[in-house]
A and B are shown apart, each in its own frame.
Chain A
């Protein structure tokens, strides 16, 4: 159990376009989902925490207007990178938890390349 999927696994887009990444909890209801960003050979940096039905809480330094997060259902959260630029190229990982004090289960990640 506790499977989290991400789609797409890889995406290449042109500079200036927007990209949406989906994160789904397949066998449990995730009231809380997290979005991380990982640069090459670096650690995971938490971008934001989203709770179903409410606005996401962004970490300091993360532009909420650039990284739009929607957690509209208990099994789906989306991250939209708006007006993407090459510096947004990164590995994006989501995780899902059944509640605020529950374990996180990680998705397989999405590799975004902006050309």
Chain B
């Protein structure tokens, strides 16, 4: 069975601080995909990144970066120089290589204050 754990329920930071959101996953598949989504108060899910299990390269996109470590089954997400607009719930998700079904973590609510 697949499982995604986001141990941090809520995180509060002051603007310009860096923040890392943790994601740990479990799967028996050798081929799988990991995702991060942002859900602002409006409710719409915003796709941030997809990473497949064979690509362990870290990725940076502007202030966002992702650290994929297969050895620890983790796919952590870091926001540098956080901004108020980053306030949202962030979900980590896992999909196996043979189907479209996504397994979501419980989400981390990030609050960035001035």
Binding site for B on A (CB under 8 A): 32, 34, 41-44, 46, 49, 91, 93, 97, 99-109, 111
CB neighbours of B98 from chain A (8 A)? 100-101
Say yes or no for B99: interface residue by CB 8 A criterion: yes
A-B interface contact total, Cβ < 8 Å: 49
> Are A103 and B100 in touch, CB under 8 angstroms?
yes
CB nearest neighbor in A for B98: A101
CB nearest neighbor in A for B45: A106
Interface residue tally for chain B (C-beta within 8 Å): 19
> Are A43 and B105 in touch, CB under 8 angstroms?
yes
The 5 closest A-B pairs by CB, nearest first: A106-B45, A108-B44, A109-B43, A97-B100, A43-B106
Binding site for A on B (CB under 8 A): 37, 42-45, 47, 50, 91, 97-102, 104-107, 109
CB neighbours of B42 from chain A (8 A)? 108
> Are B100 and A108 in touch, CB under 8 angstroms?
no
Least Cβ distance of A26 to chain B in Å?
15
User: Whole-angstrom distance between the alpha carbons of A72 and B48 in the complex?
Assistant: 31
CB neighbours of B47 from chain A (8 A)? 105-106
Q: Beyond the given A43-B105, A101-B100, A107-B44, please list 20 additional residue pairs across the A-B interface where CB-CB is below 8 A.
A: A32-B100, A34-B100, A34-B101, A41-B109, A42-B106, A42-B107, A43-B107, A44-B104, A46-B102, A49-B100, A93-B43, A93-B45, A101-B98, A102-B100, A103-B100, A104-B100, A106-B37, A108-B42, A109-B44, A109-B45
